[in-house]
Structure 1
């Protein structure tokens, strides 16, 4: 260290002594202006020397450089020790060599500012969709730490998520979403069919087998301001209805009349059902409330629908001589082609239930059981 400082000051002396007289005169003519010499060492350290004129620079040779460099080494040790025990990140110490040893041409004051040494770290950030991140930090000893908070407090992360949700709500006046409903069908408001006694029975559905499946695409258009909870929902839906019978009965279309008759030839049915598919267009008003973090809470929707029957069929499954057989027959079975009714949804958070009531009869007048359909169940996808 002593040789390094000695070489530095000798370099400064050479620079100072090499200044021309004309330059010195120019400096003296402007005593308020100071010159700055900056020296960058190979170890990335920087030494800055500020002088008023060349005369001050030449006076550097009067100092005992060997003694100064040794004294600086001691001062630096004291400063580093003070920084380790300090309560702040930065410590400044001042030394007065000339007062300690008068008459030796030592500097009047030396000021050293040191900071606490922080361990060198190597940090890698892995981000997903700008909302979830993992930070891997490696310290100077090779130890790794993992943090999913991205360096932010819990309150900051909550505020960031809330802001993202609010921005999404305000910026999207119209949105589209996939809707999938799973439920069951029930026949209600049944009236007796005027047929020959003993020839037919009232439909008695097996609940777990009378499934309802609906797949649709809804467009939601917000009504009102950017934070309005009201929206208009509409879009195409495709529905599949199954009407599975209890007991050993089957759906029969005979002489233009669809009825439910009991099997008499000894065949035992494992499944006996009537199935339909239809396309529908629902139109609903929807109320969507949110909490203080803009997450969906209570939701309520109500409206109507119109539709058209695409196809219908019957399917029988039974066992004969140890063999399982399936009979399927397509046909209209005197069912209504045009459909209409009312429907609604209610939910909280991610849980949502639906109900759908067909106001028209399932079959044409005097061509089948006089009954209507109620479908209800769980909405799996949707807002």
Structure 2
């Protein structure tokens, strides 16, 4: 199928541009049909006004004739003519310094990041020259706001767990979690695929670390033959006691993104800069790849630290619901595990939660 770029008016109508003049770019985009557009670029407002002297229909007519005379396998059509040919009044005196009208075709070079330059080496260009003779660097990425783009994200917050809908410290349980210091960290990437209007689908994966830090620093977390126990040791002066677990996860979340500028295809380190309000909710699932306990304490005047790896009857799989809300560069997240942290009958019936910021 022929791929027709009507760029006979794009980037090439710098008609009358002169060396030394201050460059002020003016661009007009005319959309017609469902997927067609015409782009008019001029380096000054005066150049844009000069367009009234040209017969646009004659330009498009000649382009159509070129199309009819080519094979169906042709991907690009270009016409290059002196600009006087398309003037409505051929008796008008023309400044000899006026450059010819040119079409920048898609004659590809190397890795499809360059296009051949026609007749623009005598005056200023808004592009950066690849060399002095033939090529000019251009942006050939997909239009903003369409397709899929990726972002690198870091989740930083706190985690806790719930027992029958309430925090265990309400009942002074030994496994009550100390909020400050129970850090939750997630590192990974996400893709954003536009569905329709402000609706996008956010999907991707990450690696997360749970750190449940016990409120009672003298609690020892022990794996017995039957279950995982949380028991206070009266013989030590506890300083820190925690259970930690690492998971790899995948997530899927529909999001509404308003006043979004969109992104080019590819990856972006800055995820939502200069964007508007957004909100979404979805699901995630993860698999445990590591877990351990650590306790720091002093005993008989000696500082000690015990760290033991093990599964502690933690469920290998986790799944739950995730919510996100943000504005511009600030985002908040909330995760709630629907399944229990420990295998059935192997520990307290607890559901993990985490919340914080997306950086």
TM-score (norm 2): 0.53
- In structure 2, the residue matched to 1:187 is 161
Q: Deviations over 1:315-354 (max 9, x none)?
A: 0111235443211000110110111111010011111100
Within 5 Å, which residues of 2 pair with 1:3-82? none
- In structure 2, the residue matched to 1:317 is 296
- Relative contact order (alpha carbons < 8 A, sep ≥ 6): 1 or 2 greater? 2
- Are the structure 2 counterparts of residues 291 and 364 from structure 1 closer, same or farther at C-alpha, using a change threshold of 3 Å? closer
- In structure 1, the residue matched to 2:147 is 173
Contact in 2 for aligned 1:256/1:334 (Cα 8 Å): no
Q: Deviations over 1:80-120 (max 9, x none)?
A: xxxxxxxxxxxxxxxxxxxxxxxxxxxxxxxxxxxxxxxxx
Q: Distance in 2 between matches of 1:375 and 1:183?
A: 7
Q: Distance in 2 between matches of 1:243 and 1:342?
A: 20
Q: Distance in 2 between matches of 1:292 and 1:309?
A: 37
- Give the Å deviation of 1:173: 1.3
- In structure 2, the residue matched to 1:216 is 188
Q: Distance in 2 between matches of 1:210 and 1:232?
A: 31
- Give the Å deviation of 1:291: 7.1
Larger helix fraction of residues: 1
- Give the Å deviation of 1:231: 1.1
Q: Distance in 2 between matches of 1:276 and 1:211?
A: 11
SS at match of 1:273: strand
Contact in 1 for aligned 2:246/2:288 (Cα 8 Å): yes
- In structure 1, the residue matched to 2:250 is 281
Structure 1, gaps ≥5 residues long: 1-163, 193-199
Aligned length: 205
- Are the structure 2 counterparts of residues 292 and 340 from structure 1 closer, same or farther at C-alpha, using a change threshold of 3 Å? closer
Contact in 2 for aligned 1:190/1:369 (Cα 8 Å): no
Q: Are positions 1:302 and 2:281 aligned together?
A: yes
Q: Are positions 1:343 and 2:343 aligned together?
A: no
Q: Deviations over 1:336-383 (max 9, x none)?
A: 011111101001111110000000000011100001011101111xxx
Q: Distance in 1 between matches of 2:352 and 2:165?
A: 13
SS at match of 1:169: coil
TM-score (norm 1): 0.50
Q: Distance in 2 between matches of 1:321 and 1:272?
A: 18
Highest CA radius of gyration, 1 or 2? 1
RMSD: 2.7
- In structure 1, the residue matched to 2:101 is none
Structure 2, gaps ≥5 residues long: 1-138, 167-171, 263-272
- In structure 1, the residue matched to 2:226 is 256
- Are the structure 2 counterparts of residues 182 and 336 from structure 1 closer, same or farther at C-alpha, using a change threshold of 3 Å? same
Q: Distance in 2 between matches of 1:311 and 1:292?
A: 40
- Are the structure 2 counterparts of residues 309 and 242 from structure 1 closer, same or farther at C-alpha, using a change threshold of 3 Å? same
- In structure 2, the residue matched to 1:152 is none
Q: Distance in 2 between matches of 1:175 and 1:191?
A: 38
SS at match of 2:340: coil
Q: Which 4+ stretches in 1 moved above 6 angstroms? A: 291-294
Contact in 1 for aligned 2:174/2:232 (Cα 8 Å): no
SS at match of 2:180: helix
Q: Distance in 2 between matches of 1:331 and 1:263?
A: 20
- In structure 2, the residue matched to 1:12 is none
Contact in 2 for aligned 1:182/1:214 (Cα 8 Å): yes
